[in-house]
């Protein structure tokens, strides 16, 4: 490990950027270990990839624990600014080789900038849905791509957040974070047991709408306007268990006419979410 001076205005000073080329470096070993849920849980951190995503996270108030960038990014103004900000806030900055980036991301063509952030999870007890709030509750979702897509869709539709019930896949896995395309930084996430969710839903003023193949109500006919709403979506294979289905004020179904017997979970969630928020959505020049 060696040290160097970053050029350019606002650059981090000597001794604040470390150059790393060895995979045996202990800091790199710790960062690589973030691919494992056990290590993410122990450290309360996770890894995110991409310059735009890192900039978005900073803009949303997230602090970088460790910034890692490729050597060929040295001197680029945006990277320099992020490095200086990271140092100013007490974070670590590493300039690494392509080999190290590939090992960390487990990808042959890694992003040139990646960062370690602290995880953020809100307590369910503090969630009090207000008029026209829409929350998504997911029961035991197993696929990281589905979860990441739901979080991204929640962001796009202006949902208030996503509640993860039971043994739902880790929202801070690298696969899930990639699928969110940065929305993991914008959408509040909540973890809860099934019992906690059932207790909370009884006390909450929110209308709980469950998606169920046996649902008797067309999802388009429900009065979402003016109500706080929780859209409750089940596991990819098994759907909602009876315990959760029983907690729903409405059991809705998306009509289908094709041969497929069901929709992908993320697609079904998106269809229901945009309908639930249709009265709040309008075309905007900034979102073509």
- Residue 33 located in a structural domain: yes
From 88, 118, 148, the end of a domain falls on 118
For residue 287, what pLDDT is reported?
A: 52
Q: Residue 240 — very low, low, confident or very high, per pLDDT cuts 50/70/90?
A: very high
Number of domains in the chain: 2
Alpha-carbon distance of 218 to 14, in angstroms, equals 63
- Residue 285 located in a structural domain: no
For residue 286, what pLDDT is reported?
A: 53
Q: Same structural domain for residues 143 and 273? A: yes
Tokens 């997230």, located at residue: 62
94 has pLDDT over 80: yes
User: Beta strand 134-139 with 189-192: parallel, antiparallel or unpaired?
Assistant: unpaired
106 has pLDDT over 60: yes
The CB density around residue 121, as the number of other CB atoms within 10 Å, is 14
Mean pLDDT of 235-249: 92
Q: Same structural domain for residues 109 and 236? A: no
From 118, 149, 169, the end of a domain falls on 118
Minimum mean pLDDT among 29-33, 141-145, 202-206, 257-261: which range?
Answer: 257-261
For residue 14, what pLDDT is reported?
A: 42
CB-CB contact of 207 with 230 (8 Å): yes
- Residue 220 located in a structural domain: yes
Task: Report which DSSP code applies to 284.
Answer: B
For residue 8, what pLDDT is reported?
A: 39
Domain interval for residue 175: 124-280
Alpha-carbon distance of 258 to 22, in angstroms, equals 54
For residue 2, what pLDDT is reported?
A: 37
Q: Same structural domain for residues 222 and 276? A: yes
- Class of residue 251 by CB neighbours under 10 A (exposed 0-12, middle 13-18, buried 19+): buried
Mean pLDDT of the chain: 91
CB-CB contact of 79 with 51 (8 Å): yes
- The predicted-structure confidence for 34-86, as pLDDT tens digits, reads as follows 999 999 999 999 999 999 999 999 999 999 999 999 999 999 999 999 999 99
CB-CB contact of 265 with 143 (8 Å): yes
Q: Same structural domain for residues 251 and 183? A: yes
From 118, 150, 177, the end of a domain falls on 118
Q: Residue 260 — very low, low, confident or very high, per pLDDT cuts 50/70/90?
A: confident
CB-CB contact of 66 with 27 (8 Å): yes
- Please report the DSSP string for 94-160 in residue order: EEE-HHHHHHHHT-SS--SEEEEEE---B-GGG----TT-EEEEEES---HHHHHHHHHHHHHHT--
First to last CA, the chain: 47
CATH number at residue 202: 3.40.1280.10
Helix (H, G, I), strand (E, B) or coil at 50: coil
| Burial 160-180, CB ≥16 within 10 A → b, else e | bbbbbbbebbbbbbbebbbbb
CATH number at residue 67: 3.30.1330.30
CB-CB contact of 147 with 169 (8 Å): yes
- The predicted-structure confidence for 131-180, as pLDDT tens digits, reads as follows 999 999 999 999 999 999 999 999 999 999 999 999 999 999 999 999 99
For residue 179, what pLDDT is reported?
A: 96
Minimum mean pLDDT among 32-36, 109-113, 283-287: which range?
Answer: 283-287
Contacts 24+ apart (CB under 8 A), 29-32: 31/66, 31/68, 31/104, 31/116, 32/103, 32/104
Mean pLDDT of 225-254: 93
115 has pLDDT over 50: yes
For residue 157, what pLDDT is reported?
A: 98
Q: Same structural domain for residues 130 and 113? A: no
Q: Who's near 77: CB < 8 A, 6+ residues apart?
A: 8
């Amino acid at each position: 490990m060696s040290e160097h001076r970053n050029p350019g205005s606002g650059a981090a000073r000597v001794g604040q950027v470390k150059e790393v080329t060895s995979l045996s470096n202990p800091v790199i070993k710790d960062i690589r270990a973030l691919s494992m849920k056990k290590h993410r849980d122990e450290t309360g951190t996770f890894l995110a990839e991409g310059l735009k995503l890192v900039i978005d996270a900073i803009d949303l108030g997230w602090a970088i624990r460790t910034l890692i960038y490729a050597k060929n990014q040295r001197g680029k103004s945006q990277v320099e600014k992020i490095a200086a900000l990271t140092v100013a806030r007490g974070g670590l900055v590493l300039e690494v080789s392509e080999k190290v980036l590939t090992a960390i991301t487990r990808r042959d063509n890694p992003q040139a900038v990646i960062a370690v952030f602290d995880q953020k999870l809100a307590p369910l007890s503090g969630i009090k849905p207000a008029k026209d709030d829409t929350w998504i509750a997911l029961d035991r979702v197993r696929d990281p791509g589905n979860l990441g897509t739901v979080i991204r869709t929640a962001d796009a539709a202006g949902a208030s957040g996503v509640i993860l019930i039971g043994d739902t896949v880790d929202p801070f896995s690298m696969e899930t974070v990639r699928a969110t395309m940065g929305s993991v930084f914008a959408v509040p996430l909540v973890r809860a047991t099934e019992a906690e969710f059932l207790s909370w839903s009884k006390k909450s003023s929110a209308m709980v709408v469950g998606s169920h193949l046996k649902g008797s109500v067309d999802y388009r006919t429900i009065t979402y306007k003016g109500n706080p709403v929780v859209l409750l979506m089940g596991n990819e294979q098994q759907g909602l268990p009876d315990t959760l289905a029983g907690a729903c004020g409405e059991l809705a179904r998306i009509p289908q006419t094709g041969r497929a017997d069901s929709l992908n979970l993320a697609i079904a969630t998106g269809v229901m979410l945009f309908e639930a928020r249709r009265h709040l959505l309008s075309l905007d020049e900034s979102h073509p």
